[in-house]
Structure 1
Amino acid sequence: MPRLTRLTPDTAVGASRGLLADLVSRHGRIGDMVSTMAHSPAVLGGYLQLSRAMKRAKLDRGTGERISIAVQTLQGCGLCLDAHVSAARARGVAEEEIERARAGTSADPAIAAIIALALQVYREPASITDEQVTALREHGYSDREIADVVGVVALNVLTGAFNLLAGLTPENDAGA
C-alpha cells in the first residue's frame, strides 16, 4: 500500500502544480512515481531534469538498461526493476542477458566490466581504481560513456529509493 498520496495538477501546489500540468498536457497521464514525487517540487524537478539529461547519454541504451537491472536488483525496487526489464526486452536484450544483468554481469566481457563499475559506483565508489578505468577504455568505452555510468546509477538510486520510501510497488502502480 502506498505511503504517500498521488497528486494531480489540481491537488499539487507551487511549482509541482505546473510541472504536473505540463506532463499531463504532453503525455495524457502520469504514473504513480511522478505524481507522488510532486509532494516535493525539488525532487520532481530534479528527477525530470536528470531523466531528460540521461536521454542524451552516449552509453548504449541496452547497456544502460542492464546497468539499471543490476542496480535495481540490489536496491530492491520491484517497480523500477520491472520497468527496466521491459525496456531491455524492448531494446532486444536477450532473456539470458537480462538474467545475467540481475546477477550483475554479462556474457560480453565489455558489458560485464561496465556493469561491475556501475555496481561499484553504487556500493563503494571510493574503491574505484585507475586500472579499472583503463580496462574500460581498453574495452572501447570513451570517457563520456564511463562518466555516463554515474548518471545512470544516480537516476536509479533516486527513482528506486523514492519508490521504496513511498511504498510504490508493481502491484499498486497505475503506470510510470
Structure 2
Amino acid sequence: MRRLDSLDPADAPAKSAELLGEIIGRHGSAGPMVTAMAHSPALLQGYLDLSRAMKRVKLSQALSEKVSLALQEWIGCALCLDAHTQAALKAGLSETDVSLARQGTSTDQREAALMAYAVRVLAEPASIRDEDVAELREHGWSDRIIADTVGLVALNLLTGSFNLVAGLEPAPAEQSTKEKPAHVH
C-alpha cells in the first residue's frame, strides 16, 4: 500500500519542483519513486546526484545489474527487483543469469566474489577484513571497482529502502507474473 504520495511539480517544494521540471523536460515524465522523493528536496537532489555519479562506475552494465539484483533481493524491494530484472535482460543477461544474481551468485567465479562482497557491505560492513579485500584483488578486481561497488550498494540501499517506506510496488500485473525466490542473506 502506497504510504507517500507522488507530487506534481506545482505541489512540490521549490527545489523539488525545479528538479522535477528538469527530469520531465529531459524524459517526458518522472517515475513514482522520484515524484515521491520530491517531498524531500535534499533526498531528491542527493539521489539524483548519486545516481548520475554511479553511471560512471567501471563495472559493465551487465555486472552492475547482477550486483543490484543481489542487493535488492536482500533488501526486498519488489519495485527495484522488477526494474533491475528488466535492465539486466536489456543488457543481455539470460533468465538464468538473473536468477543466479538474485541468489547472490554467478557462474563466473570473479563475479560471484564481487557480488558476495557487495551483499556483505550491505548486510554487515563491519565484517569486511583485509583478507576479503585481498581476495577481491586476487580475483583481479581493482581498488576502483572495490570502491565503486560500495557506491552501488549505497545507491541500491537508498532506492530500495525509500520504495519500501513509501509503499511503492510494481503494477499488479507485473508482480503476479514474477515468482519471488526465497530471500537470500
Q: Calculate the TM-score normalised by the size of structure 1.
A: 0.95
Paired with 1:147 and 1:24, the residues of 2 have a C-alpha distance of 32
1:81 partnered with 2:81: yes
> 1:131, CA displacement in angstroms?
1.6
What's the C-alpha RMSD, in Å, of the aligned pairs? Answer: 1.0
Consecutive unaligned residues in structure 1, runs of 5 or more: none
1:86-105 to structure 2, matched below 5 A, reads: 86-105=86-105
* Long gaps (5+) in structure 2: 173-185
Partner of 1:142: 142
Letter in 2 for 1:71: L
Amino acid at match of 1:48: L
Distance 2:137 2:13 in 1: 47
Query: Which deviations, in whole Å up to 9, do the C-alpha atoms of 1:82-127 show, x marking residues without a partner?
Result: 0001111111112111111111111100000000000000011111
Match of 2:27 in 1: 27
Q: Structure 2 CA distance, aligned partners of 1:88 and 1:129?
A: 30
Deviations 1:3-36 (A, max 9, x none): 1111111111221010011111111101000000
Q: Distance in 2 between matches of 1:167 and 1:114?
A: 30
Give the fraction of aligned pairs with identical amino acids, expressed as a percent: 56
**Secondary structure at the residue paired with 2:92?**
coil
Residue 176 of structure 2 corresponds to none
How far the C-alpha of 1:67 sits from its partner, in A, is 0.9
92-101 or 41-50: bigger deviation: 92-101
Residue in 2 that maps onto 1:11: 11
Output the CA distance in 2 between the equivalents of 1:149 and 1:88: 17
* TM-score normalised per structure 2: 0.90
Q: Give me the whole-angstrom Cα distance separating, in 2, the residues matched to 1:93 and 1:141.
A: 21
Deviation at 1:141, TM superposition (A): 1.1
Establish whether residue 122 from structure 1 lines up as the match of residue 122 from structure 2: yes
For residues 136 and 97 of structure 1, what CA distance do their matches in structure 2 show? 21
Residue in 2 aligned with 1:157? 157
Q: Which has the higher contact order (CA 8 A, sep 6+)?
A: 1
Partner of 2:41: 41
Letter in 2 for 1:89: L
Structure 1 ranges of 4+ moved more than 2 A: none
Paired with 2:135 and 2:74, the residues of 1 have a C-alpha distance of: 24
CA distance in 1: counterparts of 2:56 and 2:101, whole angstroms: 23
Match of 1:56 in 2: 56
Number of aligned residues? 172
Letter in 2 for 1:105: T
Distance in 2 between residues matched to 1:33 and 1:165, nearest whole Å: 11
Once the two structures are TM-superposed, the CA of residue 166 in structure 1 deviates from its matched residue by 0.5
